[in-house]
A and B are shown apart, each in its own frame.
Chain A
Amino acid sequence: MDIRKAFLEAYDRHADAIYRHCYFRVFSKARAEELVQETFMKTWDYLGKGGRVENMKAFLYRVATNLIVDESRKRKEASLDAMRESGDFNEPAGDGALDAEKLILMREVCSKIAELEPEDKAVIVMRYVDDLDPQEIAEVLEITPNNVSVRLNRAMKKLKEQI
């Protein structure tokens, strides 16, 4: 199979979803775009070194998640504090801008999500933004589906308490 072709097809098919996932994890348009590029570069590097990927979608989510976790470890204080302090969520407008009402709603919910622990944030975004089912999330995080459900319940409970 032509790896190059398959890779570019994977980009066309999954780039939007990966972008959305990254956006809801870092809440910055520019950063999310960079993360998409990094995710696909890493994936290409992996394929180029002869790595095998069975489930491309899950693999891409895993790479993106790892990049985000690495980054948040590196600058945990800076990003979270800055965001909390300033409420600085970049307007995500891609092709269609949000109306004012949605933007307010967005800021509110996003600020609550931003306060969650990275693991909690990951499962919530994957389940309710990316619409992955627990089986798929399990594959991304390399844990059991049962474990996913437990984490999801716990994360939702925390989020509800905050709101």
Chain B
Amino acid sequence: MGIKENLKQIKEGVHFGTATKADIRKRLIHMIDAGSVRAGDFERHYITQRSIASIFKRIKLMPIYAVILVVALLGGGGVSAAAQGSLPGDTFYPVKVGFNEKVGAAFRVSEDSRANYEVRLMERRLEEAEEVAAKGDLDAEVKTQIEENFEAHADRVEDRIADFEAKEDFAPAADIALKFHASLEAHGQILVKLAEQAEAAPAADIAVAVRTRAEAAEESRVTLEERVFADTDTAAEMRFKAYAEGLRTDALASIRTAAEYLEAHRAAFTDEVAVKVQMQLRASKNLGEEGTLRLNKGEYRVAANFFQQARQIAEGMIVFMRAEVAFTSEGAIELGTDFRTRVVPPVDIVPLPPVRIDADADSEESMEFKIEEEHGEFFLDTKSLGGSSGSGSSIAPMPVPVDSDGGDIREIEVKGDELEIKGVDGSKVEIKL
């Protein structure tokens, strides 16, 4: 069969869902009638000149919107922007949750992206809680507000999961449950830490609520995944494969996001924290690679498991880094490095083999080695030892735990019986030989 016939046959299976079509139509009508108030890039929104008259027509009907829009018109839209950074207890906080976020939600089309947005909003509530706690402003009243908001958002995420489940759409349900769990897990730990360090007792209460949800989310994920793999019909194998592949894409995306975040906010982290995150991401990548191996062998279920763990670590690191950036910029508190994602990687970080240094064993001087890359692996270049030990050294080329994407570790020094791996950004890891 030719390509044209193939395409003809295939295209008949591609339909714009009736519900989605009606949904978008509704949104377009809303946009037209609201006078083109629309969210460019989903986050910003602007008001066109010609829409002013129609906005005033609606003011009587929508008091909250009216206040915001009037102030926005007078003040050039600054309120909504100012509200974006507000915290529970602030004047503009209701604008942020009542308006900005609703605009954001209205412009998310697919059920998937809406569910993801709900998770993100729930995360924001927890980030706010952490910020308030770190500042020491978490009193009983604010705590109640935060708890209510958190529970409401978490309920909505669970509703989204239940919606997918009701439609027997188990894969996206499991996917959202995974993200939900990873995020709750990480935030739970941060809140516990804040409760200890900042002596913010109310944070501990929130942490308990978060942990409870986290456990439920994990249970729900496991059950949903059972359902994904429970099918036995002829197309099941292909769905398993698609599911594992989908997880792989998500895991890679999470790892990439985490690595980019680390790079963008490097200045906000201490060397210790940066190395810690790099190591975790390395572990996450290893899990991903193992997953890919299993995927290629057709062991979809095992592969899925590896990808989930990889993603969980990366998502946990994203949450951790965000919190770290927020707190250190406030100058209030540092989370430090003992943050752990609770996943235990089934594969270890590639260990460094023991190294014996004959030529300069007693020397106090440090030696510098070059690192060479080969097929994505990094090796110590023994030739770079040069003259002092004649023909080279007893160090065999050895793999080095360098992030092949970041490429940010370029130098290794031997100091006495310690090996020091330095990054170009000033970070370093010390390994006892």
Contacts and interface: CB of A to CB of B under 8 A. Distances in A.
* A and B assemble together: yes
Interface of A: 4, 7-8, 11-12, 15-16, 19-20, 23-24, 29-30, 33-34, 36-37, 40-41, 44-45, 48, 82, 86-88, 91-100, 102-106, 109-110, 128-129, 156, 159-160, 163
Contacts of B50: 48
A105 B14 contact: no
Interface stretch (B108-116, B319-327, B409-417): B108-116
Contacts of A7: 28, 32
For A30, A40, A110, the residue with the greatest tally of chain B CB atoms inside 10 Å of its CB is A30
By secondary structure, the A interface counts as: helix
Contacts of B27: 37
B26 to A, nearest CB: 11
Contact of B13 (A12, A41, A102): A102
B10 A105 contact: yes
Interface string B22-42: 001101110110001010000
Given A41-B38, A48-B50, A129 B7 contact: yes
Contacts of A41: 28, 31, 38
A48 B24 contact: no
Contacts of A19: 14, 16, 21
Contacts, number: 120
Given A30-B112, A33-B20, A34-B110, A109 B238 contact: no
A95 B15 contact: yes
Interface centre among A11, A37, A95, A106 (most CB of B within 10 A): A37
B32 A34 contact: no
B13 A98 contact: yes
A16 B21 contact: yes
Contact of A94 (B16, B32, B245): B16
A88 B245 contact: yes
Interface stretch (B125-133, B246-254, B270-278): B246-254
A141 B304 CA distance: 43
Contacts of A87: 245
A93 to B, nearest CB: 8
A129 B11 contact: yes
A48 B47 CA distance: 13
A30 B109 contact: yes
A159 B153 CA distance: 48
Given A29-B110, A33-B16, A94-B14, 11 more contacts: A19-B16, A24-B11, A24-B14, A30-B110, A33-B110, A36-B24, A44-B36, A86-B246, A94-B18, A103-B235, A106-B13
B110 to A, nearest CB: 4
A45 B8 CA distance: 34
Interface residues of B, number: 42
B9 interface: yes
Contacts of B112: 30
B332 to A, nearest CB: 36
A84 to B, nearest CB: 11
Interface in B248-285: 248-249, 252-253
Contacts of B248: 86
A20 B28 contact: no
Contacts of A86: 245-246, 248-249, 252
B1 to A, nearest CB: 9
B11 A36 contact: no
A7 B28 CA distance: 10
Nearest to B171: A91
A15 B24 contact: yes
